[in-house]
């Protein structure tokens, strides 16, 4: 069980008022809030041991290096990677996907097929389109249905010996659907294709076990799981990381440099050119520790309760339609009210202190599927309360009355 009252004490921002109302923060799918344990880690870094890593013999540099590498181990353990060097620090999910897409340019030929799900974030679509332009590979789409589930029969029909890569999110940021990634990975491996799972939306709600999944690449952003922005990790299976060429050239990623020939550093440094977000990486480790202190299972169970409660209340409001009604979903509710533009609802909710997202949620193909311009999205975290759900529902009712 979760002690929400004491958890909320960890998040200074939750005490804010917006337009004279207590903040009700329901935009967690865009970015999560930061507990003081993580904020303290950031302050401690800049107050006490700010230095560049892996380079200096001096004490501060060694302290920073030790903490950064400890964070890598914490994250390795969290996702159950076999080796810490399979955990690459990135600037976030977008960076991780681009790193893999860029690496595959050397491994694909014209006519190779890549499969993408119909419910991806733009960051898991556009890098692959760019890769197809470069290589002549062909992008094919795994369709979804009205409920927001992938059509797995169509997926299986798309797989063949030309399929080289499959990419899909673990949880949809726009619909909340939890995708059957085990089945997706097994199907791809049966035809010899590699799989990248975008875990950006899953990482706040569940603990992915990359070895149990047998996934080839798994990518997350720290800021979706109580860490800072601008840092994330890409997990890659050792054999793939050895096969892929470096993404960027620079300092830190080399073994030896001369004008005749440069050799690359070993993993993970081969993919970590330049000075990284050192403080961010260390704070990411603190965020992972924080979440595990509460327990990912407890978090998931509590968020399910909030989801069920909020869904029931919302559906009592006339004209509400929820997009994403999978039996297997997490605490994200995308909805519209008949006859009202989502933006207008979002603007009134903000006046009442309730923060939600409106728009296409970086997933325009989903909006095209439903033939809508966008939705209002309320996404719940473990620090939200039932009372906040009530406030949100009352605010939606008020918005509806004002706008209709
Ligand atoms: C947030 C998100 C991304 C992008 O993450 P960045 O931190 O902006 O790189 C990608 N995919 C999904 C499913 C997301 O929710």
d(CA 108, CA 233): 24
Q: What confidence score (pLDDT) does residue 47 get? A: 98
- The residue nearest atom 5 of ligand 1, judged by CA position, is 93
> Is 198:101 a contact under the CB 8 Å cutoff?
no
**How high is the pLDDT of residue 357?**
97
Q: Do domains 4-30+295-403 and 39-293 have the same CATH topology?
A: no
Task: Provide the 10 A C-beta neighbour count for residue 135.
Answer: 19
The predicted model scores a pTM of 0.97
Average pLDDT over residues 254-266: 92
Q: What is the mean pLDDT of the chain?
A: 97
The CB of 117 under 6 Å from ligand 1? The reply is: no
The CATH classification number of 4-30+295-403 equals 3.90.1150.10
How far does the centroid of ligand 1 lie from the alpha carbon of residue 2, in Å? 27
CA of 48 to the centre of ligand 1 (A): 32
Q: Is 201 in the pocket of ligand 1 (CB under 6 A)?
A: yes
**Cα 376 to Cα 289: distance, rounded to the nearest angstrom:** 32
* Residue-level pLDDT at 1: 83
- The predicted pLDDT at position 108 comes to 97
State if residue 115 touches ligand 1 by the CB under 6 angstroms criterion: no
- Catalytic machinery residues: 362
What residue owns the CA closest to ligand 1's atom 8? 94
**DSSP letter for each residue of 22-69:** E-EE-BTTT-----HHHHHHHHHIIIII---SSS--SHHHHHHHHHHH
Quote the CA–CA distance of 32 and 225 in Å, as a whole number. 6
Model pLDDT, residue 54 = 87
**Cβ–ligand 1 contact at 27 (below 6 Å):** no
**Candidate from 181, 196, 224, 360 with most ligand 1 atoms within 8 A of CB, to mutate:** 224
CATH number of 39-293: 3.40.640.10
Domain regions of the chain by residue span: 4-30+295-403, 39-293
Share of the chain above pLDDT 90, in %: 98
Using most ligand atoms within 8 A of CB, pick from 28, 30, 173, 197 the residue to mutate for ligand 1: 173
pLDDT digits (tens, 9 = 90+) for 281-317: 999 999 999 999 999 999 999 999 999 999 999 999 9
CA of 123 to the centre of ligand 1 (A): 7
User: Residue 196 has which token pair?
Assistant: 């990248």
CA distance 272 to 247: 8
């Amino acid at each position: 069980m979760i002690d929400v009252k004491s958890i909320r004490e960890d998040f200074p921002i939750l005490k804010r008022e917006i337009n004279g109302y207590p903040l009700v923060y329901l935009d967690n799918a865009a970015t999560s809030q930061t507990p003081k344990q993580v904020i303290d880690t950031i302050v401690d870094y800049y107050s006490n041991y700010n230095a560049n890593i892996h380079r200096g013999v001096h004490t501060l540099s060694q302290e920073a290096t030790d903490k950064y590498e400890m964070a890598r181990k914490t994250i390795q353990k969290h996702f159950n990677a076999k080796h810490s060097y399979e955990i690459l620090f990135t600037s976030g999910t977008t960076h991780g996907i681009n790193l893999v897409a860029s690496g595959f340019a050397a491994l694909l030929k014209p006519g190779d097929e890549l499969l993408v799900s119909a419910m991806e974030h733009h960051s898991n679509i556009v890098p692959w389109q760019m890769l197809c332009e470069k290589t002549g590979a062909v992008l094919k789409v795994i369709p979804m249905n009205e409920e927001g589930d992938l059509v797995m029969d169509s997926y299986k029909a798309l797989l063949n010996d030309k399929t080289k890569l499959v990419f899909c999110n673990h949880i949809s940021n726009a619909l909340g659907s939890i995708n059957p990634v085990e089945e997706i990975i097994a199907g791809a491996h049966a035809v010899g294709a590699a799989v990248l799972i975008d875990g950006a939306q899953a990482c706040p709600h569940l603990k992915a076990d990359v070895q149990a999944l047998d996934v080839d690449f798994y990518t997350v952003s720290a800021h979706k799981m109580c860490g800072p922005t601008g840092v994330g990790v890409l997990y890659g299976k050792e054999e793939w990381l050895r096969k892929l060429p470096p993404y960027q050239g620079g300092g830190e990623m080399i073994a030896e440099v001369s004008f005749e020939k440069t050799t690359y550093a070993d993993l993970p440094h081969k993919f970590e050119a330049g000075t990284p977000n050192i403080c961010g990486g260390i704070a990411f480790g603190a965020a992972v520790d924080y979440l595990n202190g509460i327990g990912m299972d407890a978090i998931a169970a509590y968020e399910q309760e909030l989801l069920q409660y909020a869904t029931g209340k919302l559906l009592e409001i006339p004209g509400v339609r929820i997009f994403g009604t999978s039996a297997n979903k997490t605490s994200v509710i995308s909805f519209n009210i008949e006859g009202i533009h989502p933006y207008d609802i979002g603007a009134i909710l903000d006046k009442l202190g309730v923060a939600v997202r409106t728009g296409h949620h970086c997933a325009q193909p989903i909006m095209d599927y439903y033939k809508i311009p966008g939705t209002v999205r309320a996404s719940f975290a473990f620090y939200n309360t039932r009372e906040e759900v009530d406030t949100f529902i009352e605010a939606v009712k008020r918005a509806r009355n004002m706008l209709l």
